[in-house]
Structure 1
């Protein structure tokens, strides 16, 4: 770290000289323009225009597998580049173009701007001032929990249609977009100002989005099993008790996710400790259901896999709640019931540690 003396010029403006070594590394000289970002924490940041990724070039091999190509494009999208230029070492095969178009359709805020025989240019069409990361997180929460609810009901009632389950693409789009703008906020501080969220909040939203995407993935797993199994999957005995227990455990897991996500994105944290308590209760219920399935003749092992996905959903809720607890501690929030927020022993640290370790 260097220290610099503040000087005042004749018109009253304060000036600070820039380190020559830093200016040389950035390619700056007299007359160049830089951006100044003043933050609420008292930090003033100087940033050059080169910090933004305008175009990202990705070289492709003509024998690249389409599945791998999709992953490369998704990774490029996550960098936050405004333009992604996919170039082949020759003419791009038709299956590559098909994979690129399919991947772009699943991404929010980008489109194919131009293409030739040798390259495809993917361009951003959504500026940060048109994006609400907080609202996108809410949408992701709604999609993930709705899919989870429908999938679990279909598992317990084979006669129920699964037409309403299929929001996987929507959940992936929301999660990927949140990650994209979080990454952009790391490289361009003016993006933070445009998004209208603090850097800390954007990080919280990014972590929560990752867990909500996992909830959506668990819902997809339950839905796939619900399609595969039949009414005899719960064994030869009356399955009503087992299905009721599954529905109850799934409802508790979803409630835990909702409370935790609200604590992260809402105006103030709620009763976060109830999330950890629900998570523990779901674990106990799932353990009992798994034992019942194991002891029931003719039970399909895939039902146990679906039940395990409910346990993992509750674990996602606890991970989101950890983010909310850190927010509450940082902001000094105690909630409506101080005893409930702090814990019966009056020690916030021990309860936070208990939740984090589990």
Structure 2
């Protein structure tokens, strides 16, 4: 880090010089425009304008002629990294299977569309504008989807069969998670993206961390749904369902403390309830696969509550601690 003096050029205008090495590295010279970002946390940042020719905004990938599995990995990775334009090339010609995979993945990513298509080159663009995205609302929707999945999965324990329409909700959760991750990635790379999202960098990070925990809750819902076909003792099901319902309350309350201004008290209550669930699961019988999934759901809910406590401390909202949560 280096310091530079503020100069006055008259008329109430202040200037500060920028390092020549930085300007050269960014391709900036006299007369060029730069972007100034004034953040709500008091930081004023200077950034070179984004270019469509610079990574990760625009990438080009050449595929082996018969490769299909890599197409999905590349598209999802590029989307999550914040790329706007993805050019896929096949030196021979895209097969019908490759095109089917590409079309399916593009349809499952919000705002993605195939804009150019030739036998050997396909261009995919993300047309979703940042100011059209509400990360907070997306996290709220993701909470609803994964908790619905979890509820359906535990309900299916009584029928000993996989729940209906589960795959559709799982795809919806994947789309939301991918969109939030993309917003976070671009916010890290480009300061104007944070401005367009309407959140601070700290808030964006906390929302992304919450998303990661909710994604894992969805994973455990998938695990419970798979284990539903292996429950041999129907008598234990009601107790497992009751505890699972409590774990969903932990997750819901913890997320509310972050996105709905529910208050730090709700986060503390979620942590206290997690302790109760831990104790109950130590005494209940049932398939280990189901119990472990329910336990992990409670843990991820507790992790979200801890994020809410960190947020409260950062915002100066935690001035007293109740006796409800375990503070050890």
Rounded to whole Å, the distance in 2 between the matches of 1:95 and 1:164 is: 26
For the Cα contact (< 8 Å) 2:210–2:255, is it kept in 1?
yes
Output the CA distance in 1 between the equivalents of 2:297 and 2:201: 27
Separation in 2 of the partners of 1:339 and 1:37?
37
| Structure 1, 274-283 or 203-212: larger mean CA deviation | 274-283
**Structure 2: which 5+ residue stretches go unaligned?**
none
Distance 1:334 1:28, change over 3 A: closer
Alpha-carbon distance in structure 1 between the residues aligned to 2:264 and 2:137: 17
Rounded Cα–Cα distance in structure 2 between residues aligned with 1:272 and 1:12: 48
| TM value normalised by structure 1 | 0.84
Q: SS at the partner of 2:92? A: coil
Paired position in structure 2 for 1:8: 8
Deviation at 1:120, TM superposition (A): 1.6
Q: CA deviation at 1:147?
A: 1.0
1:72 aligns with 2:74: yes
- Give the Å deviation of 1:192: 1.0
Q: Distance in 1 between matches of 2:321 and 2:203?
A: 26
Greater CA drift, 318-327 or 273-282: 273-282
Size of the alignment, in residue pairs?
323
Matches within 5 A, 1:200-211: 200-211=202-213
Question: 2:260 — aligned with what?
Answer: 266
CA displacement 1:293-342 (0-9 Å, x = unmatched): 4xxxxxxxxx431222111111111111121111111112238xx441xx
Q: Is the 8 A contact 1:37 1:46 kept in 2?
A: yes
| Pair 17,221 (structure 1): closer, same or farther in 2 beyond 3 Å | same
Match of 1:55 in 2: 58
| Partner deviation per Cα, 1:237-262 (whole Å, 9 max, x = no partner) | xx33x112101110111011011111
TM-score by length of 2: 0.91
Within 5 Å, give how 1:141-290 maps onto structure 2: 141-158=143-160, 162-166=163-167, 167-226=169-228, 228-229=229-230, 233-235=231-233, 239-240=234-235, 242-267=236-261, 268-289=263-284
Is contact 1:208-1:320 (8 Å) kept? Answer: yes
Partners of 2:273 and 2:158 lie apart in 1 by 21
Counterpart of 1:300 in structure 2 is: none
Is 2:291 the counterpart of 1:307?
Answer: yes
Task: Give, in angstroms, the shift of residue 220 of structure 1.
Answer: 1.5
Name which one, 1 or 2, has greater alpha-carbon Rg: 1
Q: Is the 8 A contact 2:40 2:200 kept in 1?
A: no
Q: CA RMSD in A?
A: 2.1
1:115-169 residue CA offsets vs partner (Å, 9 max, x unmatched)? 111122111121011111100000000000011111101112448x822433000
Q: Distance in 2 between matches of 1:133 and 1:339?
A: 29
